[in-house]
Amino acid sequence: MGGGTPLRPLELIKLMRPKHYIKNFLIFVSITFDRDLFHPQVLLRVLMGFAAFCLLTSAVYVLNDIRDVEADRQHEVKRNRPIASGAVPIPAAWALAAALLVCALAIHLAACGSQGLGFMLAYFAVNLGYSLGLKHVPFLDIVLLVMGFVLRVLYGAAIVSSSTSAWVYLTVFSLSFYLGLGKRRNELKRTQGSTRKVLQYYSYEFLDKFMYLCLTLAVTFYALWSADAQVAAKYGTDKLIWTVPLVIISLMKYSADIESNSYGDPVDVVMHDKVLLLLGGALVLMVVGLIYLPGL
């Protein structure tokens, strides 16, 4: 790049990691369960919040790649990232991160004002701390990964002044721990801890055991939510319990994927499995149908 090779826009887009925007759909959890998904004004606000959060997460990814450029160059997969490979020079990456952050804040403030801003800033602070070194602190590294998922749900609720069932938050917490522990477990299995310092503090058996403990809790909390009498009264249906088998099947398929030759990154696992995508889509349609069309 230093020899005058023009900067390719596709490399900048790749650096932003748009495929990871799938995680930001957690922002829609609250309005979905509040039956506001098809309320035009509420949906528009959440869509704007979603756009702002996508730009924010991209800024975080760029900053993380700048910070980890030398380590990424030693990794068999991450060395192909735009900064590590030299396709995007570091000054250009800094400029991109700044632009993304400014645009994210501008869109949020224009659409939502101060509502949810604290959770947005908390997400940025958590991930900045993670990139600056907290990811090397055992257990805290996993907790910070989990907070990234939970803060998305909290942000989505805050921007529309929504409240979400405690069962839903418990499910998100448990499932997030399952995903985070699974990611660390597979990194340890694939690299033997050679590319991430914190892995030396973990054993495969420990991560595996608590990963499936959290999976069990996630299914249990979801089942308790679906069977809760107040939930049935709110939605006018007692059929949500029939979505539990589909949840179990979907998580079985996900677990089968990460038991194979995978680094355990949730986005990569989901996006590379058409069956899992189909199961997830069917689950969403079934839950939304029962909540919004209780006569089904």
pLDDT of 68? 85
Say which range, 52-61, 138-147, 161-170, has the weakest mean pLDDT: 161-170
pLDDT tens for each residue of 99-132: 999 999 999 999 999 999 999 999 999 999 998 8
The answer to whether residue 118 is domain-embedded is yes
Which of 119, 144, 161 is the last residue before a domain boundary? 161
The answer to whether residue 5 is domain-embedded is no
When pLDDT is cut at 50, 70 and 90, the band that residue 2 belongs to is very low
What is the CA 147 to chain-centroid distance, rounded?
Answer: 10
- The number of beta carbons lying within 10 Å of the beta carbon of residue 19 is 12
DSSP class per residue in 9-72: HHHHHHHH-GGGGGGGGGGGHHHHHTT-TT-HHHHHHHHHHHHHHHHHHHHHHHHHHHHTHHHH
pLDDT tens for each residue of 23-81: 999 999 999 999 999 999 999 999 999 999 999 999 999 999 999 888 778 777 788 88
When pLDDT is cut at 50, 70 and 90, the band that residue 1 belongs to is very low
pLDDT tens for each residue of 16-38: 999 999 999 999 999 999 999 99
The answer to whether residue 3 is domain-embedded is no
The answer to whether residue 4 is domain-embedded is no
Say whether both 185 and 59 belong to one domain. Answer: no
Among candidate residues 118, 141, 127, the one with its CA nearest the CA of residue 62: 127
Total structural domains within the chain: 2
Backbone angles phi, psi at 123, to 5 degrees: -60, -45
Residue 260 DSSP SS3: coil
- The number of beta carbons lying within 10 Å of the beta carbon of residue 2 is 6
Q: Is residue 5 over pLDDT 60? A: no
Q: Which residues contact 255 (CB under 8 A, 6 or more apart)?
A: 215
The domain in which residue 232 lies consists of 165-296
Average pLDDT value for the chain: 91
